[in-house]
Chain A
Amino acid sequence: MRTLPTARREPGRDAMRKDSRPAGPGRGGPARVDLSLRLLPPAAGCCALAATLLPAATELRIAPVAVFLLAGPGAALVRLCRPVLARHQAVRPAESWDGGFERDSRRLEQLALAVSLSVSASVLCATALLAVGAFSGLRVLLLLTALTAAAACSPKLRVASKPVDVPKPAEPTAVQKTKKKPKGAP
């Protein structure tokens, strides 16, 4: 059944309510799912390593390597930081008629971060190995897989028991503006 979003949702309060709970797949779900998601990036790294044993330039070799380099290390790092990141309020549009908008933006942000962090990690690892004259594709992949495994094994960044900064709308919404009392009013 279709439902309409709550009218005149107060973004600050809504975000407080949502974000005061631990975020991520572990919330309310079985720990097994969380563990699977946690192990997925390093497993993808191991798959990529194994794929390098396959014949050169085959799809089965290219695909795992490309997927891991594009998303693996970043996904592990984002998972590590997710609870703390979800706790902090982002700048949002002044409108609030689209329910779920902020949730979707947060997911999009995590996707963008996962990819950009992965690409950056590949660039930096490869450059560092070239700079010290120890470059090889396999070393880059080993380094990235080790980094991903370390991030996956680390506990998620701890969430403070109470908010460290008060989330507030980036800009007073039009609703709030209309409710603002005129100067001199009691």
Chain B
Amino acid sequence: MDLADLPASPDRSGRYRMLGLGGPLAAALALWTYAVVRTDPADLGDFGLAGALPLAFWLGLAVLAAGFWLCVRDPLRPHRWPLAYTLGLLLMERATQALVYPTPLYAWAWKHDAVIDHLLTAGALERGAALGDMAVYDQWPGFFAAQAAFVELTGLEQATAYMAWWPLLSSLLLLAPLLLIYRTFTQDRRLIWTAVWIFYAANWVGQDYFSPQSLALFLCLSVLAVVLRRGVRPPAGGRRRALLWTALLVPLTSALVTAHQLTPVMLAAGLGALCLTRRYRDWAAPAVLLLVFLAWNLTVSLPFLREAVPEMVRSFGDVAGNLEAGYGTTPTGTGPVLVSWVSRALSASVLLLAAYGAWRRPLLRRRATGLLLLATVPLLMLAANDYGSEMIFRVLLFMLPGASFFAAAALLPDARTPATAPDGRGRPLPVKGWRFGVLPAVALLALTAAFVPSYAGKDQLSYFPEQEVALVRQLVDGAPDGSLVVAANRNYPLAYDTYWRIDHYWFLDDGRSHVEAVLNDPAATLARDMSAVEPPARGYLLLTRGQIAYSDGNGMLTAAELHRIETSVAASPLFERVAQNSAGAVYELRRTS
């Protein structure tokens, strides 16, 4: 038996305590179930899912956060209680969309399904220029290869069958390495579980979807957990230990390197920073990572790097340029702007709390220097590259495990108790009062609530109704090999379906002058864009609600301008409408001969 088994409040009966601790969780899940049933994806507006969820969801979230704090404020509470509440949070945060929407979210996730389809069709990697921009996925195929094997073994038609549940699964995978990292630095259960809660509540960046980076983050945190616990400088004669742990890390780092471009670089920066501390001055783990990284990048992914390195060199050191938002990423309209500010406020709050926690708790800061370094070193990557205007988000993501720990430390009292006497004296006591009893609960509640609009506030852009999927499926299935699909942008489902036989052109990705030409004379300009297509291949124009919502919400063309383009094409003798439903329309370029 350990301290966990002691009754938190000896004057209460076990059943009453059970009801008090488990009741809020049960109530929250009941409210959530009701809310999920009552939510209609057709109601999505400017605030995405956040605006469509009924009051019951928000009440459930509040009850869940309050119940969590009720459990976690007592440092002797058994781990199963905060664990149950954390799982409840993950369900409410990451499973709601899978239950509410009939189709998977995010055009990028649909693209990853197409890559898996390609690997299953080809049965081998294609590193040449034949695949164009998509060849890069065959140069970092780890995630897709494993998914392809799973799809084939289970007999599922496509990864879309389980893609919607991936955010929940990938978030669950992070739990064990996160706990292990925090348990390396403290025994204070309040601190450990509050940090885990803050991590999940602040992880709105949306890299948990069906993607290589979601798997790579899990592997990265697993490596860090092992290194933080086991990667200390070996004492004299202790090299065998280092060798064994390093050998165990080889499969993890190898899988990581084959799966994603950026994560190994972030991990290398973190391991390098750890080596600067006296405790972790062992170069075995970073050396192994570097060797595997070089071996992969100088062979399999060399074609991509050969083209990308000059641009990487150009952007190195240009922090302002790397922080610049790309074209088509400026939130437009009340909803997107507000959602954008809420997500910024959420991240800023956690980082400020983390800074305050590190400042307020010098002893903890000294003990967890490694974690503090891991929280700050991703900032260096802002100087390295813009990563397609996404670097700021990736940096935030990799700072979060460490930042959450110190943010939790800011909310909690200092647990200075080193050990407990046999009679129980010296054991930590539950937090009380406004400062540590109520204020942290309010902070957790605010962070948890802010997560929903930050994470799901753009669902109007990311959700594709079944009609939209059916329309694009009809187009792709009927298009002869070598056909060209022209669309405003790539925000539609199946955009890359069978990309090895169908070409794409997204005219909003083109220069401003060409976009103006499309606006001035839509039918003639688009027909010229498709003129190189040789029969029997065909040229198609596809306009769907997903493209229009994305363009309108991100400061590209307005919905009215895109509708004007469609009206012009529909009226032109150059095009013929071949498919239409409530989600959009497909126009085919007429053959002139």
Contacts and interface: CB of A to CB of B under 8 A. Distances in A.
Interface of A: 2-9, 48, 52, 55-58, 61-62, 65-66, 69, 77, 81, 84-85, 88, 90-101, 104-105, 108-109, 111-113, 115-117, 119-127, 129-131, 133-138, 140-141, 157, 164-166, 168, 170-171, 173-175
Contact of B2 (A90, A95, A98): A98
11 contacts: A2-B6, A4-B422, A62-B154, A105-B180, A123-B142, A123-B146, A127-B142, A130-B123, A137-B153, A170-B232, A171-B367
A127 to B, nearest CB: 5
B184 A92 contact: yes
Interface string B524-554: 0000000000000000000000000000000
B157 interface: yes
B235 A165 contact: yes
A181 B185 CA distance: 26
Given A95-B415, A175-B418, A84 B244 contact: yes
Contact of A126 (B1, B149, B185, B244): B149
A65 B125 CA distance: 24
Contact of B255 (A90, A120, A133, A135): A120
A1 to B, nearest CB: 8
B420 A97 contact: yes
Interface string B418-462: 111111101110000000000000000000000000000000000
Interface centre among A77, A93, A136, A166 (most CB of B within 10 A): A93
B420 A5 contact: yes
Contact of A130 (B124, B150, B232, B423): B124
A77 B420 CA distance: 37
Given A131-B300, A134-B123, A137-B149, 12 more contacts: A57-B155, A58-B155, A69-B149, A81-B248, A88-B244, A94-B367, A123-B258, A124-B255, A126-B148, A135-B145, A137-B148, A141-B149
Interface centre among B183, B228, B235, B240 (most CB of A within 10 A): B183
Given A124-B254, A137-B150, A164-B237, A95 B419 contact: yes
A138 B145 CA distance: 13
Contacts of B352: none
A133 B419 contact: no
A8 B179 CA distance: 24
A93 B367 CA distance: 8
A181 to B, nearest CB: 18
B119 A55 contact: no
B145 A174 contact: no
A97 B427 contact: yes
Contacts of B157: 57
Interface string B1-18: 111111000000000000
A146 to B, nearest CB: 15
B241 interface: yes
A119 B214 CA distance: 13
B187 A48 contact: no
A57 B154 contact: yes
Contacts of B415: 95
B573 interface: no
A113 B226 contact: yes
Contact of A123 (B123, B232, B259): B259
B61 to A, nearest CB: 28
B203 to A, nearest CB: 18
B348 interface: no
A134 B125 CA distance: 10
Contacts of B5: 2
Nearest to B154: A62
B124 A93 contact: no
A88 B418 contact: no
B219 A55 contact: no
Nearest to A108: B180
Nearest to A63: B154
B512 interface: no
B229 interface: yes
Contacts of B151: 137
Contacts of B146: 69, 119, 122-123, 126-127
B470 interface: no
A124 B148 contact: no
B135 interface: no
A116 B151 CA distance: 20
B229 A126 contact: no
Nearest to B421: A7
A109 B154 contact: no
B153 A141 contact: yes
Contacts of B421: 7-8
Nearest to A59: B154
Contact of B225 (A3, A98, A112, A173): A112
A111 B176 contact: yes
B246 to A, nearest CB: 12
A165 B176 contact: no
A115 B173 contact: yes
A82 to B, nearest CB: 12
A90 B416 CA distance: 22
B104 interface: no
Given A117-B248, A124-B251, A130-B124, A90 B145 contact: no
Contact of B1 (A3, A81, A91, A96): A3
A126 B254 CA distance: 13
A62 to B, nearest CB: 5
Interface in B271-320: 279, 300
Contacts of A93: 183-187, 367
